[in-house]
Amino acid sequence: MEAIITTLSAYGWDLLEKTGEHMFISLAAILLGVSVAIPAGILLTRIPKVADRIISFVGVLQTVPSLAILAFLMPFLGVGILPAIIALFIYSVLPILRNTYTGVMEVDSSLKEAGRGMGMSNWETVRKIELPLALPVIMSGIRFATVYLIGWATLAAFIGGGGLGDLIFDGLNLYQPELIILGTIPATLLALLANGGLSLLEKKLTPVAMRGETA
């Protein structure tokens, strides 16, 4: 315990800096994933004949080890934060894409028809009916992706991307378990806080009529 306190006092500012970098990498990747995967998931519901093939292809990308993707991106994007964000973005797409597609497809078709009967355009049907009703499923995918991305963001240190992985790998290289703990605990706490925060956001955004069903 004394060794951890000593390490914390010595690396306190580094810990704050690396935590900030870790949050930035994770947040940038998940926001990029949300901005791409949700519209793509909605689009796939309009072309269900090819949806399974596209989702399967994205799933194949996720079977590639994260370190291999980082190594593949290095010749094109170099080292640093950018390739780390792109690699994490690739891993964020599948759960959000799949859950968006599933959630929208599970919306009762009679509700969609009722919306069209009221004169809603395709976009209004998506915005006012499909997305609100599919939101719990979509948020589940976002939560899943966010928690895993926070963990995977430690690998950014391999290519100079920074983050809490720097402390973990320094601890491994220097045989200092205290540094490993100093990097691991904040990453775990960030994942737990993100999961809890997104759960609260999901409840707030879920239509009142559906809250009893998703509780």
Q: List pLDDT tens digits, range 16-62.
A: 999 999 999 999 999 999 999 999 999 999 998 899 999 999 888 88
Q: List pLDDT tens digits, range 58-77.
A: 888 888 888 788 888 888 88
**DSSP output for 4-50:** HHHHHHHHHHHHHHHHHHHHHHHHHHHHHHHHHHHHHHHHHHH-HHH
Q: List pLDDT tens digits, range 126-184.
A: 888 899 899 989 999 999 999 999 998 998 888 888 999 999 999 998 888 888 998 99
Predicted confidence (pLDDT) at residue 212 exceeds the cutoff of 60: no
**Which domains can be identified in the chain, with CATH numbers?**
28-209 (1.10.3720.10)
Confidence of residue 207 (pLDDT cuts 50, 70, 90): low
Would you say the C-alpha torsion 125, 199, 213, 144 has a positive or negative sign? positive
